[in-house]
Structure 1
Amino acid sequence: MLVPHSDLADNHQSMEVVSQPEAGNTVENQPLEDPPSSRFTWKIGNFTRLNIRKHYSDIFVVGGYKWRVLIFPKGNNVDFLSMYLDVADAANLPYGWSRYAQFSLAVVNQINPKYTIRKDTQHQFNGRESDWGFTSFTPLSELYDPSRGYLVNDTLIVEAEVLVRRVLDYWTYDSKKETGYVGLKNQGATCYMNSLLQTLYHIPYFRKAVYHMPTTENDMPSASIPLALQSLFYKLQYSDSSVATKELTKSFGWDTYDSFMQHDVQELNRVLCEKLEDKMKGTVVEGTIQQLFEGHHMNYIECINVDYKSTRKESFYDLQLDVKGCCDVYASFDKYVEVERLEGDNKYHAEQYGLQINDRYEFPLQLDLDRENGKYLSPDADRSVRNLYTLHGVLVHSGGVHGGHYYAFIRPTLSDQWYKFDDERVTKEDMKRALEEQYGGEEELPPTNPGFNNTPFKFTKYSNAYMLVYIRESDKDNIICNVDEKDIAEHLREEVAKEFGIPVQFQRFWLWAKRQNHTYRPNRPLAPLEENQSVGQLREVSNKVNNAELKLFLEVELGPDLCPISPPCKMKEDILLFFKLYDPEKEELRYVGRLFVKTNDKPTEILTKLNEMAGYAPDEEIELYEEIKFEPSVMCEPIDKKSTFRASQLEDGDIICFQKSPLVETDEQFRCTDVPSFLEYVHNRQVVHFRSLEKPKEDDFCLELSKLHTYDDVVERVAQHIGLDDPSKISDILYYEVLDIPLPELQGLKTLKVAFHHATKDEVVIHTIRLPKQSTVADVINDLKTKVELSHPNTELRLLEVFYHKIYKIFPPNEKIENINDQYWTLRAEEIPEEEKNLGPNDRLIHVYHFTKETAQNQMQIQNFGEPFFFVIHEGETLAEIKIRIQNRLQVPDEEFAKWKFAFLSLGRPEYLQDSDVVSSRFQRRDVYGAWEQYLGLEHSDSAPKRAYSTNQNRHTYEKPVKIYN
């Protein structure tokens, strides 16, 4: 489990997960050597005699930083060796320091090195998390077993391999200032979409065509793909900060669920281009998509024994190349055009395609498709055109939780300068980072520190290119063209100008403050010196507690023409007040504006101005109230109009509510005659569901009532609603539902739906767990144990995250539940099998999933279904032996089980196994990101009905294809 060792809960079970690095602050003058990498070996003698809880290694230096290894010889509250990488001088580093490292920790097997236990991770080290690593590194029982080979002569050998990378201060980093480009905000799990949009935007010919698509000022961007894309591109071109994509996804017709789906970038690109192609028909830019992206390939079938040949010309916008077994792009093209003999069961072998995790795959800066006399070209291809292509963009996937992370390297003008577009951030990068570091595979890094082990070592790369964009040399001047404001419709410029908002010289920001009554109000404007400070520095000033958020109020002064003007100079005696107008007839309280007043002035001096803000006659009599607080109880007091603002104890940020003075003699009767009564009403109103006695399980209607209503009040309101003249005809019997906890207490709790899978019974039971938001996963498990039937009283449970029939995560016991999301992912609890607790050194715990194959648009697709599970395999164990154990576990009848196929799947491509195959040889020994993408697949028909899996309340059991609806 990867956690800072000090944060570990005492009562937890052994689990391992990999944490993603977090963005953090850094000190600008941090040192960084090149190459910033090294290996450190630590021999620990008399290991079994160590009686200390913590044990630190000597200090070693990597990348100019001091590091050390920290171990817990007896475990950090677990029966495992606990091991971490620690920043040695953390206590002496300046405030806000940060450093980022990829590293591996290992316990060396001194009898057989191939059984060395090595685990990799990466982390953003900072003041709160100065150590990071593995709480459950390896069981102490195995470590102390002399036959295992880890302890020889009571000596343990530990190795640490560390690679340090520089990080940016993302609080102060300005992408536009540093690079001239801005990023796109991460909308959710569609972060790969940002890479694609940046790639398309940086094809100027494409951008110009989008600008020239006809749209009008009456169009709504959220309902028009052309206008939404125009707006997005315009903001990318002229904005000074990152741009949101929500309008564009709304124009796609995506709902919240769609925004969280992990679509395939190639599929999204095809659908988006097809949609734009359709929208461009009949316009001046018709045919642009074909001109930019369309190519053709020839498919032919030639019979061996019959004089027959069939040729078919097909168009494409992108090429999907096979990379398995290929060292570079040219090898993939060789495989793409090779003649294939189709016979028997070999007619379709797409399932053999796939890329092993971290296989090295190279791509050139210039791609020559005319090489070797144009062997990739069809006989009737136009040979007068030189097919030499220059690399323009590299879209990258970096392995991580829930699909990993996506970003793009692009060189917009095809110069030597590359840029990395990583959601909101854009940074300058060199060619090596954009190309060679995205080849995948392993990188051999030389050591840098004399006095340590100087043997070169390899680091697994965590990022791979998955989509390449090349531009033909002969067309680059047309494609990399100039795009300026004359290409942009006037109505679009006006609309975006509104969103861009207020010129800097007309802005004044205020800090918020929390008052003693727990309300928040704008407290004071930023001082001139503070206006030049970074956001990070302001956050430290604003927050008395450690809070990632910085809240500001933007004050904008409008002139007579409603255009922004410079804010007035604020003197010490000036206070800023906010005003709300109450209308008792409409029962409406709305904000109408703000004013600066002098502390020694009186409300009578601003009554005319308030009447103007309300649209009343200048001499209208009005009453004023101060809205002091709303929770947990309402406090709203009248203001004496003849007293000064100072005497009424009014200050910056206070809220004044006003209304017409109620007339003494009037026939009008209002439910809430003044502001205090209205606020009390709002505070106490409650929506109540009513059900007819004939249909006690169905809501008949709802009424908005008050918590202060009597029984007679409720009966009268119900009678009015159902049109009953005599309320006494309504039964005096009330049906009620009792919440298991008070409503205010419920609001302070986190509610999770957990599906418990019984170990011996074929059943799944959903349990609702309500715990304080600061509770941990261990608390969830302990609570669940009191509600479920266990196979044994001392059975241990674990909590899993399941998504689309794959296990993505085992939750560490000390993880806070506040950030756990059970809306899109299923939370599954299960007993930990005994065989998993007693893994031998040669055993592997693998993922096993059910799947079927489907073919859509000539593309083979894997569809997972059913319940995924973990399974222990042994070194040298054949598939035939494993099949017996799986059949026993799943209780599948022989006749049905005989139809099943077994395959090793990596990144969605199956490699079918024979009974004699040794299964363990297919699974990598070392820990890698995306372990859920390497699994043993059970291919068979899905006999379950195609419906939502009601037992676990997961509404998204079956994945929807990517669609753009508008």
Structure 2
Amino acid sequence: MEYSAEYEDNFIFSEFTNYLPTTGPKQIYNSDFESPNDMLVDSDQLLNDAENEKDDGNVHDILPDETILRGDDEYAMRELVLPPILEQPEVLEIKTFNWQITDWTQLPRRHRSPIFWCGGHPWRILMFPKGNNVDFCSIYLEHGYEDGSEVGPVPQNFSCCIQFGFVLYNPDAPTCFTHNTANHRFTKEEGDWGFTRFVELRKLWSVPWDAHNNYLAPNERAILSAYVKHVKDETGVLWHNFQNYDSKQETGYVGLKNQGATCYLNSLLQSLYFTNAFRKAVYQIPTQDEESLTNSAYTLQRLFYQLQTSKCAVGTSELTKSFGWETRHIFEQQDVQELSRKLMERMEEKMKGTEAEKVLPRLFSGKVRTYISCINVNYESHRLEDFWDIQLNVSGNKDLESSFQDYIQVEIMDGENQYMAGDEYKLQDAKKGVIFETFPDVLHLQLKRFQYDVERDAMMKINDRYEFPEVFDASPYLAEDADKSEPYIYQLHGVLVHSGDLNAGHYYAFIKPEKNGWFYKYDDDKVTKATMREVLEDNYGGEYLHPKGHVPIRRNKPIMRQNNAYMLVYIRQNRIDQVLLPVTEEDTPAHLQIKLDEEARIRDARKKEREEQHLYIVVRVITDATLREHCGTDLAVINTNEWLSPGSAAYYRILRKSSLKDLIDQVGQDTDVDPKRIRMWVMVGRQNKTIRPDQPIQDSNITIEEAYQKMAGHKNGEFKLWAEVAEEVDTEGNAIWPTYPGPITNRLPNKTDLIILFLKFFNVRAQKLNCEIKPTMIEPMKAKQTLRAAELQDGDIICFQLSTNDIKLDENISVKNNVISPNNMMNKTDRNTSLKLEKSISTLDVARNNTMRSPQDFIDDARSFYDWLANKKDVTFSPHPLRNTNPENLEVFTLTLSNKHSYDQMATRVGQYLNVDPTHIRFWTCHSGTGSPKLAVKRTSSQTVNGILNPPYSSFSNANQKSDSLFYEILEISLSELDTKKALKVFWLSEGVSKIDEYDILVPKNGSVEDLVQALVKKAQLEDEETGGPIRVFETHNSKIYKLLNKDYQVMGITDYVNVVAERIPVEDIEFSEPGSWVYAFHFQNEPSKAHGVPFLFRTIDGERFVDTRKRLEKRTGLKGKVFEKIKFAIVTRGSFSKPFYLTDDVIIEEYLSHREDMLGLDHPDRSRAIRNGAGDLFLK
């Protein structure tokens, strides 16, 4: 039987909702069951629930006025098993199919019904009469497509959204029935769906189904009805599992990757990206001369361009790094309004002086007038301000219109609150309010979903229902004299949504990229098409709506929807074409396209390289050119990370199946040597950690893979070779090689047995030969000793140098500050070559014209030079960002030092570079995780560079330290003088406790608090005590006063675990005449143990009511207005678990201070902490 969609709408669902038998649970997949196309089956949990369910015989007590449901009543069954769908899609077709089942136990294990059609597709019932590996009858709905059948194979892009239900009933007693319902997106991959545990087998004919002893399937006979509803999938993602979902292919747009908790950033960036005029303005920022990933404008350009061109989701890590965010910031959710404002400010700065300089104010900035207008006289005071967004109250307002009315409501100032209208009019009744002068083209409305709850004394999220229209007119909220020549009608462009509660949640956005297009949901890396119901109704908040307005019988506390809009973006209708103007390739900076295309090409090449990696092998070849360029230990640099540096082995990536001859030909071409003269030696690692030639490869026709497998010492993925060049050739140009044990594959003439030695020349005159055994083991050789007696073998290195007698300093060499170090001589292009180790005997040159330096200025022997090479280290020095006067004027630089250098030697080198007295330089270690300064380096005579950069892990403070970086601080005094000082951090209270300034003070170690005060006056440029008034100093610990410090108190008694606070003693504390006492006051939140802020000393007056004490406290603290009004005052005793006694206006505080250690507590929230998630202040570099 076929039903139309119109017929469905006439059903009244509420007639049956209260009288329905319990429906079976929806099934989920379990791989243990035999399922032809990953059919939906029950979980173990659902199985346990079914087994534990009480068997009540399925008896239902029928009241006289109740309607009895029958399995053969198609109208009622259709209403029962096809309830309204939450997404409310359009119904295309509904079909009912009845299948009569007989001889149940004789049916095959799998039994299929005849095909029926719905929605233009074939369908059939798949039944497991004896269960699909369970003691239940299993029933599924599957499409009827099949290869070789009349209907043919499954279409390639087959996708169909179906709601369906099964009803199994007794044809003789139709009131005995059972049913179940489900919905599913049928695809080529998921062609069946249903219920593995539809009905228990024993209940079919073994157990009576009702009180009249009727069975569900008597005589193994029953009727199975399938109700199938085909619905329209407008968005393309209804009931989608999003496996292999391609946002670009389905929508034409891509999302942004979530780094951890950056979904709030992603939603804002998508909104700004689809404000096309903003995107075009960002492209107009000149960045061609500043292509740095620390430039936020450049990284934002890159991000926008990738959103335009990428086929997959784009990462935001480059942008967040340019903001200066560290890993911890990535996992902190920040306020979107604050982020939007800071990002706008940053881009506006970057756009100054460009074509886009006025774009952002025109797009996002409007004007609002704050006014006070007298009612009875002609006097008005007003102030005109720019706004970039509008914050609207949600609490107490039902929709956007009521929020705007609330925003511009007029306050009457009368009675005690009259307005002072100058000397002429004095106090007057007045109207106070705000009114808008202009609205921008793009209107950002921030809905205040997060507000402080006074009763709970905490921030709370407001989930109240709040409606906003697709179109609204903003002209009623403009001033009467505003320019209204053009309409201020706004079209909804974006809805930014927060789902969750205050402390945890998720952000996503609904945005309409085109004027007449669809809204799309941008949920991090996934983009889907959205309906207007999803955009509007689903984000109003409030209680969950029930299908067709149904209200549950039992009403407890209403369940509020957690997902609701917190930011709205509207575009002025008559400006929409200018805002959503097309952005083409011509609008993107050319240098940006070139850069990103090149990066894409490199990524593709690397991807291809990884895919073909198994076909290639890396070969590193040492040539004569390598030996000449290398200045260091061993024969060459064979470190994987340094193959491009001078003196490193040549790098070849070659097919494993290539012959050795192919490699020799390539090496000969690169070195301009006849390949016939080249022979390859295999390099092997020795026990002393050196790599030397071991044996030549005699056969040049074998493949690289064969040579590698047979001769390589370590199979680490790299083949290391030395290319020997023959000195002698025959008449045909073929090389003549010395004999070598092993197979001979050619008939070339051979010379007598020889060994390969490498000579390194250190050009200081010498009478000794030194043999390099390993970089840290240099042994002298006897000149008359034979090579065999010296136990030399192939690949050994011999070092020699000239005599150092009667050496004079070369006048042509520049000496900086009369100090020459190996690093100075090694790193300058014009340095004298006297310290260079030459590698080939053919390059030996006595170079007598190179006059030598004195021993204290340079290294005069090869052994010392090898020691230098073994201990040299590149160290990066950065200015301390907080302790230097002008850190932005200081540079970051790198010096090559020796691990054996002392603290003073390192300071000398840095001082020479900075042209600063080295005794005025202090170093700080660098944190490996954050890159920020860690601890000051203590200067000792035994401290070395290695000890500073690689301290022993004997204490926690030495952990997480970079081994190649230090910060430097330029001091005003020398380190020796600094050692006589004590460094103190002093917090100066200049305006009660509302303003705190922080200063680093140096005081002599034998000094007193009086010296500290004088140093503070000088450092903070304060008036001295004689002019400005006396200053008191006290210690605080855990936000409570620990000790008052007298002026003669020694500063060495101030420990590191306390804070030092200083303030001017208030005049009223000096000149008081009323009797009273002193009390320590501190701030806390809810509980005295949760102290915060800066404590202070307060003077009480005998007999004073607290209502008057409050006024003095307001003056003493410097806190004003609502901030002070919300403070609750209490007496707190010293006990650990004592409860505060809160004070009322009529009490006298002196009467409740029973002990000298009792304190006055100020209970109010800690405003210094972030509102949510413990996040720090939002910043953009």
TM interval, shorter chain, is 0.3 to 0.5
Larger Rg, first or second structure (1 or 2) = 2
Q: TM-score, with normalisation over the residues of structure 1?
A: 0.47
Q: TM-score, with normalisation over the residues of structure 2?
A: 0.39
Between 1 and 2, higher relative CO (CA 8 Å, sep ≥ 6) is seen in: 1
